[in-house]
A and B are shown apart, each in its own frame.
Chain A
Amino acid sequence: MTQSLGFGRMVSLLLAFALGIWVSASGLVDSVFTYWEDIVYLTKQHLVLVASSGLAAIAVGLPAGIWLSRPSMERYAETVMQVFNIGTTIPTLAVVALSMTILGIGFPPAFFGLFIASLLPIVRNTYAGLLTVPSHLKEAATGMGMTRRQLLWRVELPNALYVIFSGIRTALAINVGTTPLAFLIGGGGLGELIFTGIDLMDTGMLLAGAIPTAALAVAVDFLMGQAQLHLIPKGVNPLR
């Protein structure tokens, strides 16, 4: 087992090494680095978009999901969720384009489009997570004398946390993946290098945008995975 693992690792190392030699020989590395200043500036812009729209989606999505799961909302919640589910089928590019028609160009429509695209999984998972908390847990908690609020904070939310967190992780993955499109409506970000690179057939410029975008997506997902592993209490975390 350890031997075969070692072999696989060696092969992939060799492949990566060969790729590196090929890339540097083709001069691509140098051409990517000529855009270094642009990369730094646009990455910052990109991150601001991701972080602001992501946080806003969490800030709105969590309470919305909680609110929809309350017994008083039972009658309307399913209808609202149906609308949301239809919403998720709209391609993100269309969402971005639609928000431009309302809010014009620049940061606001980009922010709004990304916010909407990442809102849906958060609301959906918060709602579904809270609904799947077994009713006997709620009965036990109520029977022991918890108030509605204590029931929510001490029993329902902790037990739905894993599902809610998965929703946030999905939302951020969508968000990071969609952010390059923000350039198309004047929102800036690394999309500027990618789309301009495509238009000018400039592979170096294209990669200068694409590589950081890809790295960012992998990094965000990795961080969220680690957070999911370590932040969610052991008793309700299937990963532990």
Chain B
Amino acid sequence: MIRLEDLTKIFRTPNGDVVAADRVNMEVPTGEICILLGPSGCGKTTALKMINRLIPPTSGKIYIDGKDTATLDDIELRRNIGYVIQQIGLFPNMTIEENICVVPRLLNWDAKKARDRAAELLDLVGLDARQYLRRFPKELSGGQQQRVGVIRALAADPPVMLMDEPFGAIDPINREIIQDEFLKMQSEMKKTIMFVSHDIDEAVKMGDKVAIFRAGKIEQYASPDRILAHPSNEFVADFVGADRTLKRLRLLTAEEVARSDAPITSRSTKIDDARQVLSAARARIAVVIDSDHRPVGFVTADEMTGASGTVRDLAHPLPATVPVRADLRAVVSEMFAQDTMWLACTDDQGRFAGVISQPDVTAALRATYTRDRRASEKLEAS
């Protein structure tokens, strides 16, 4: 857990005092990622660097796991906090192994233990240890260097990590991949992380909580969904963008919205029986599945009216399917691409998992709004 209490930083410059952080109060629960978000010069990086005292605070307190960090020695404190910077900062004079082992060596780990740890971490991010340990940073691609930068900060297994725009310098495709990898690692590591970003999409994707900064002050500190659904003021609303509702699409997966009880039928089913299924479910469309429970097509109630034979004769092929784990943004994008109102969802094995429609999506977005509103009304009433 990281707790900031009235944290303040005033830079004394020849042109007068500049307040970079103004009584910042916040708490990051253990195991969560908190994104510090804001335009450049808003004080988010200053706030981050005060935690490992690269910038000494003017006043205020910082607690890590309940302990006032002012009582700790600077060097001691920093060795127990993972630190990742935007420029990556791998030391060109050291091999990848030596780079990863910097903090373990500073902590006087046994050499073999440190080496094993380096190999283990490389494997964790999908880099072959035998191949990469002996290489130098300049022999790696940007994405690979970025991964090494992250695992270097994890080497001594610190409970707390500070990340200063860690994925800012890589191309968008690699950034997505590394973000996903990192989230996967985090789901097991459960580090308490402070993460500076200026990218609202990154914040929505990575953050359990988002703190929006302006001129050294926190404008709003809440979950990404809450910030997108209920920006506390004009500034936050402007900052998250006019398309904030669309951004919320990323926060829900198809699984949460899809109807898993949508009517299904098979190719060999008699049309009469299929029609019965549809009318029982009060639906217009049934998804046709094969013997492995995979969706292969669909039939409509209109076309079946008055027809005879089996479903095979009337089935249309499905334009596309979406994985049930996909977020709603991907689902909606696929719907627009295929010019369709609905899509069949599949699970990891490709089996039918439900049907998702455009009205379902908009209803889901509306539902989170009303749920939030009801909760806040209740809060005000009490």
Contacts and interface: CB of A to CB of B under 8 A. Distances in A.
Contacts of A233: 93
B75 A235 contact: no
Nearest to B86: A136
A139 B54 contact: yes
Most B CB contacts (10 A, CB to CB) among A136, A140, A141, A155 go to A140
A134 B87 CA distance: 10
Given A136-B87, A136-B89, A234-B136, A143 B54 contact: yes
B73 to A, nearest CB: 10
Given A136-B85, A139-B85, A144 B93 contact: no
B11 interface: no
Interface of A is mostly: helix
B138 interface: yes
B362 to A, nearest CB: 46
Contacts, number: 72
Contacts of B23: none
Contact of A141 (B87, B91, B136): B91
Nearest to B162: A143
A100 to B, nearest CB: 43
A16 interface: no
A235 B79 contact: no
Contacts of A236: 92-93
Interface string B118-140: 00000000000000000011100
Most A CB contacts (10 A, CB to CB) among B75, B78, B91 go to B91
Contacts of B85: 136, 139-140, 143
Interface residues of A, number: 22
Interface string A142-169: 1111110010001100110100000000
A144 B95 contact: no
B92 A145 contact: no
A150 B54 contact: no
A236 B80 CA distance: 29
A189 B141 CA distance: 54
Contacts of B90: 140
Nearest to A157: B93
A175 to B, nearest CB: 28
B92 A144 contact: no
B367 to A, nearest CB: 44
Given A143-B52, A143-B83, A235 B106 contact: no
Given A139-B89, A141-B102, A235-B138, 15 more contacts: A136-B87, A137-B92, A140-B85, A140-B87, A143-B78, A144-B102, A145-B76, A145-B79, A146-B75, A147-B75, A155-B91, A159-B91, A159-B92, A159-B93, A235-B137
Interface of A: 134, 136-137, 139-147, 150, 154-155, 158-159, 161, 233-236
Nearest 8 A-B pairs (CB), nearest first?
A140-B89, A145-B79, A235-B136, A158-B93, A145-B78, A143-B83, A136-B87, A236-B93
29 contacts: A136-B85, A140-B83, A140-B90, A140-B91, A141-B89, A141-B91, A141-B102, A142-B54, A142-B78, A143-B78, A143-B85, A144-B78, A144-B103, A144-B106, A144-B152, A145-B75, A145-B76, A146-B75, A146-B106, A147-B75, A154-B102, A155-B93, A158-B94, A159-B91, A159-B92, A161-B93, A235-B91, A235-B92, A236-B92
